[in-house]
Structure 1
Amino acid sequence: MEEAASFAGKVAILTTGGTIASTYDQSSGSVHAALDANVLLAGLPTACLPPVEGRSILTRNSYALSFDDALTIVEAIEETRSRDDIAGVVVTHGTDTLEETAFLAGLLLEPGKPVVFTGAQASADEPDRDGPRNLADAIRVAGTGAASGLGVLVVFDGDILTARDATKRHSSRRHAFTAASGPIGTVDRSVVRITQRPTPFARFCEARLAGPVDLVTLTLGGDDRILKLCAEAGARGIVLAATGRGNATPNIVALISQLSARGVPVLVTSRSPEGRVEPIYGQGGGADLERAGAIFAGDLNGPKARLLLALILGQSTIGNIAALVHSIANSCIEEKVW
């Protein structure tokens, strides 16, 4: 176990909006992002923190972010992290799509100085707001050398998670983010402890997302109409949130075969919150999907698989899509630090 006893230097906080920067607006009767970096930093505790600086990149709730916005955030991280006087970077982000932007950053940024995403479940004007603690914990992680080389991280409610595995599991509770692999560390009473280290995987060279890539969830009694509409509307790729281990129906398998023949890649994930997809079943199941040309995306969830496919399609030289997907889908946390 690696326990951080000191800080490596200054931490830069890049704010993008989200609940952590939101307040209630009387005129509209709704909550929305409004606070900039200076306001968020003013609410931090002063003890057990490295030196910090802040910059506002966006002031937007994350459900309204676009691909271009996500790439803007990644570009700002890389630019800031390249400075000699910065030891790590924290990004405050709305929790609705935090896992997607963090995952994208992890696909593009080489491991090195820590990059940590965090946010809040309660707006900044609520008496039991969780933003200040989450932000302080994220700063502590980003400021310690123990977090170097781990790739992009998510810090939330005391847990340290990899961006690859972090997922928002609850819409409102403070302990919103979990990972099937568990946390790789914790922040407890201001002390950062790293207990596991993720295995590395290759990053992408070009920060470009191609679309549209559509995500379609399969359900009981469903048919292929939505998939046909996606194809007719010009989808460059499709991700199936299939049932169970990655299963569909015979009519969907037939359509996937047609799409594959036309060069439209189809990734298979599970609508289940945990577990890997595998091509096991026939009669429209995963074994038939694989024979039809679908690519199985391991334990990646649908939104992350969609981003991965959009990034692959955005590269100048695409290469073997299945091999690229499998390299990310099969990366894992296996090294324990005791």
Structure 2
Amino acid sequence: MTESNTFNTQDFCNSALRAIRIEREAIEALESRINGDFSRACEVIMACKGRVVVTGMGKSGHIGNKIAATLASTGTPAFFVHPGEASHGDLGMITPQDVVIAISNSGSTSEVVTILPLIKRMGAPLISMTGKPDSVLAQEAVANLDVSVAIEACPLGLAPTSSTTATLVMGDALAVALLEARGFSAEDFAFSHPGGSLGRRLLLRVSDIMHTGDQIPQVAEGTTLSGALLEITRKGLGMTTVVNAAGTLTGIFTDGDLRRTLDKSVDVHTTPIQDVMTRNGKTIRADHLAAEALNIMEEMKINALPVTDANGTLVGAINMHDLLRAGVI
């Protein structure tokens, strides 16, 4: 390898922009190949009673690993098998109920081609992802997803670049089409991603983090404004709820309401809270996702929400700090 010191800042940027342009064109070319073969591949996978087994050698293997992971996390059980290891025992991981997706840019990778007769004998449907529609691999498949590219982004035309990007995008397109066909929901996704902020956003319920019992800021109708202010201070949620004798929520009084009320020069010691509270404000149910509470607060530009049951009875309270501590934000 020869060393060159002739590149300047602009040369680096030009090389990068060229690579991005070539790979973008490779992705755009895929649109015309979403055709009958693509639909057939989706139908075969939807009818699969086992799992999707993805295989590929070298860089195609790395892409295959990612495609298998994406399928598995979006409702299509899948895993990756190395074709070299498949010839030495791992082929036993594949059953006739499975579907095999074999990836090879040339369509003739020896390690992949070697196991084709065994897959065919087993009766597992084969889907290929190749850059050569007339290759052995493509001809043996029930559906071939064409991931050919005009040129690689590598100026030597050697390192898989555009071809691996095209394959990855085709794999994502397949996963998304299957996700939508299955009616896969955000909650379904969360069950396969329980860790980290994603799982917290999608699985955590309001009931898991809301304030209950004596922690709920609440005053009865008839309480003076000064009494409501004391309750806001005691509970520290930046608001208080207002309930009637039956415990049904009738209003809410927030820091914002206080600022607006003081502009009217009311007497805080004699004014009843129901005269200045906000009626028919936003509420949320305890069984709703905490992420829904966040969406309401952001949309309405508020910092807290009362939690009520189906009858409108106050059962809790939640504010933006609770969502922050729980990692929902």
Q: Tell me the TM-score normalized by structure 2.
A: 0.25
Whichever structure has more strand as a proportion of its residues is 1
